[in-house]
Amino acid sequence: MPRYKILTWGCQMNEEDSEQMSLYLQERGYEPAEQVEDADVVLLNTCSVRRKPEDKVFSTLGHLRQLKQRKPQMVIGVCGCMAQLRADEIRQKAPFVDMIVGTAHVAQVGALLEEAIQKRRLAMRLDLPERKGAIVTDIPERKVDRVPKLKAFVPIQYGCDKFCTFCIVPTTRGRERSRPTADIVEEARRLAERGTKEITLLGQTVNSYGKNLLEGRVPFARLLKLLSDIDGIERIRFTSPYPRDFRDDLISAIAELPKVMEHVHLPLQSGDNDILKAMRRLYTVEQFEEIVGKLRERVPNIAITTDIIVGFPGETDEQFENTLRVVERIRFDGAFMFAYSPRPGTPAAQMENQVPRAVKQERLQRLIELQNRITCEINSAQVGRVFEVLVEGPSQKDPTKLAGFTRENKMMHFVGGRELAGQIVRVRADEAHLWGFYGTVV
């Protein structure tokens, strides 16, 4: 049987796309290979959000070129955001690539592979769906009968309409399109039948879900209710919401639906209003803090995490200090923190007042130190508390222990029998760390 290997960079949406491509290849008789060296087809599912993964893709292509010289029948494909954005450059720098699969053509991966093999020439599909009028019908096809798993991602929305000045996603993934509600509910129902207990709803601005649907507007909070009604689904998460669209009905849904977990990942990006404006983020620090305040008031013990970029063009020392002050005030449970990386084709990359690399690195270091201290303090204050944990199986850190996540999305390691895997158990936190807790089953 021919074998394939998919290498994935980037976000959960990319992981999800890789799983879909895997299913489409298996449908055509391919089986997974352990390593690229053993594969007949190698797909690189790429990310363009930062520069590092793009560099890594080109260095991986260099390695694949050597493999292909020894094994000329090997098919090499590039998929994902970088394929969408830099197809010409890929063709020029890596003419041995056999297929380029745009972000909207995951379901066509099998057909493109066949075309590349039969015609012995580059097979490529890059067009993005246009949004014609108010209603969106061009939603990617999906395989919903998936391999059984405890936790699954469910995309509910594709593309983005927000156009933040630092972000390339609206160009690589197109305009915002919501999946029909009935399709999402059906997919979740089938996942539950195969044993999935936790679903994570995916979208670039997941809480703006539900516009432009044939069946009329379906608020995100309503979708959460419909999914909560499915037997077998025990936990619902979503990522990432956009602050401006975080309405009171969503806060009520988190507060009132027991299956919706007490964790919100809400990207702040900057703690300075002028920088937020330059980023074209459509909210102020005050509005952001108001949402956090309401969430904490309505949902006791909620964990709130965030994304922050430092060194955005023009960010002064004082503006950076504003970010530190907001982080001190809000006290996030955790954060993904980055130094700004200019993405060609975005407005921010054209801005003249770029911050020197050394300054960005220094700011990033200070922010990380502050956030790590806060995370440790928050976790330490919870020692002794009993958490509900969905047990995933042996811990990768220490296989003598089990690992799982709390409702608040904190990692818990504890001693227990393998038979607990897949179950929801109560675990007392005994010892706190930056990454989570060691605990004991109670």
Among 84-92, 160-168, 317-325, 334-342, which window interacts with ligand SF4 (CB under 6 A)?
Answer: 160-168
Residue 163 interacts with ligand SF4 (CB under 6 A): yes or no? yes
> Given candidates 178, 196, 204, 239, which one binds ligand SF4 under the rule CB under 6 A?
204
Q: Which two three-digit tokens encode residue 156? A: 């509910």
**What minimum distance in Å lies between the beta carbon of 160 and ligand SF4?**
3
Backbone phi and psi for residue 2, each to the nearest 5 degrees, phi listed first: -65, 150
Task: List CB contacts of 417: < 8 A, sequence separation 6 or more.
Answer: none
x/- binding map, residues 113-152, to ligand SF4, per CB under 6 A? ----------------------------------------
- Between 123 and 285, name the residue whose CB sits nearer to ligand SF4: 285
> Given candidates 25, 167, 268, 327, which one binds ligand SF4 under the rule CB under 6 A?
167
Report DSSP state, residue 392. E
- Between 350 and 365, name the residue whose CB sits nearer to ligand SF4: 350
CB burial class (10 A; 0-12, 13-18, 19+) of residue 343? buried
User: What are the counts of helices (DSSP H) followed by strands (DSSP E) for the chain?
Assistant: 14, 19
Residue 271 interacts with ligand SF4 (CB under 6 A): yes or no? no
Q: Is the peptide bond before 395 cis (omega within 30 degrees of 0)?
A: no
**What minimum distance in Å lies between the beta carbon of 44 and ligand SF4?**
22
Backbone phi and psi for residue 409, each to the nearest 5 degrees, phi listed first: 70, 35
Look at residues 142, 101, 127, 114 and name the one whose alpha carbon lies nearest to residue 29: 114
Among 31-39, 115-123, 167-175, 389-397, which window interacts with ligand SF4 (CB under 6 A)?
Answer: 167-175
**What minimum distance in Å lies between the beta carbon of 246 and ligand SF4?**
13
- The separation between the first and the last C-alpha atoms of the chain, rounded to the nearest angstrom, is 48
What number of other Cβ atoms are within 10 A of residue 215's Cβ?
Answer: 10
Q: 161 and 117 in contact (C-beta within 8 Å)?
A: no
What CA–CA distance (Å, rounded) separates 392 from 395?
A: 8
- Cross-strand bridge partners of residue 178: 157
Q: Which two three-digit tokens encode residue 426? A: 């109560």
Task: List CB contacts of 399: < 8 A, sequence separation 6 or more.
Answer: none
> Given candidates 11, 106, 160, 254, which one binds ligand SF4 under the rule CB under 6 A?
160
Residue 164 interacts with ligand SF4 (CB under 6 A): yes or no? yes
- Between 167 and 188, name the residue whose CB sits nearer to ligand SF4: 167
Residue 205 interacts with ligand SF4 (CB under 6 A): yes or no? yes
- Between 208 and 375, name the residue whose CB sits nearer to ligand SF4: 208
- Between 181 and 204, name the residue whose CB sits nearer to ligand SF4: 204
What CA–CA distance (Å, rounded) separates 262 from 301?
A: 7
**What minimum distance in Å lies between the beta carbon of 434 and ligand SF4?**
26
Residue 162 interacts with ligand SF4 (CB under 6 A): yes or no? yes
- Between 128 and 167, name the residue whose CB sits nearer to ligand SF4: 167
- Between 263 and 343, name the residue whose CB sits nearer to ligand SF4: 343
What CA–CA distance (Å, rounded) separates 113 from 102?
A: 13
- Cross-strand bridge partners of residue 198: 151, 235
x/- binding map, residues 232-251, to ligand SF4, per CB under 6 A? ----------x---------
Residue 50 interacts with ligand SF4 (CB under 6 A): yes or no? no
Residue 170 interacts with ligand SF4 (CB under 6 A): yes or no? yes
Among 88-96, 150-158, 164-172, 342-350, which window interacts with ligand SF4 (CB under 6 A)?
Answer: 164-172
Among 133-141, 162-170, 207-215, 256-264, which window interacts with ligand SF4 (CB under 6 A)?
Answer: 162-170
- Cross-strand bridge partners of residue 389: 406, 425
What CA–CA distance (Å, rounded) separates 2 from 273?
A: 54
Among 155-163, 333-341, 392-400, 432-440, which window interacts with ligand SF4 (CB under 6 A)?
Answer: 155-163
- Cross-strand bridge partners of residue 339: 310
What CA–CA distance (Å, rounded) separates 369 from 346?
A: 30
Q: How big is the site for ligand SF4, counted in residues (CB under 6 A)? A: 10
Residues that bind ligand SF4 (CB under 6 A): 160, 162-164, 167, 169-170, 204-205, 242
